Amino acid sequence: MRTKKVYIVEDNPLNIELYLAILNQIENIEVFVEKQGDKGLNLIKLGDPDLCILDYDIPVLNGVKICKELRKIEKFQKIPIIVISSSPIKGNKDDIFREAGFDKWFEKPLNVKEFKNNITNLLFQN
């Protein structure tokens, strides 16, 4: 089985630690992390991700803008992209996140079991 590549763009070290702890329970994945939105976008563009996890409220370029930029590029149109938010959002989150192109969205604090199950399903559904 090919190793799956997961890219995380998150600025909070505790959240990064949590995501890595969850992802390390899943076999056959390799994880890449960037803490700034603009650098994260570039890292993802240069890589070959199987899944992207974006923080909604990240410095320089937020998760919605990153997702919209990625969805403009053909090779990223079918890659699952997840957003995680703890910020208050004006408007309907479902509509905002769906229109941005996210496949799933989660609120902090995370339900770890649900998060892990969704990641596993998105990575290995084929």
Domain boundaries, the chain: 4-124
Q: What is this structure's pTM?
A: 0.93
C-alpha distances (whole Å) from 19 to each of 32, 45, 62, 102, 111 are 11, 21, 18, 18, 12
Q: Is 12 exposed, middle or buried (0-12, 13-18, 19+ CB in 10 A)?
A: middle
Using only C-alpha atoms, the chain has a radius of gyration, in whole angstroms, of: 13
Q: Which CATH architecture has domain 4-124?
A: 3-Layer(aba) Sandwich (3.40)
Tens of pLDDT, residues 70-96:
999 999 999 999 999 986 666 677 788
For the stretch 25-64, pLDDT in tens is 999 999 999 999 999 999 999 999 999 999 999 988 999 9
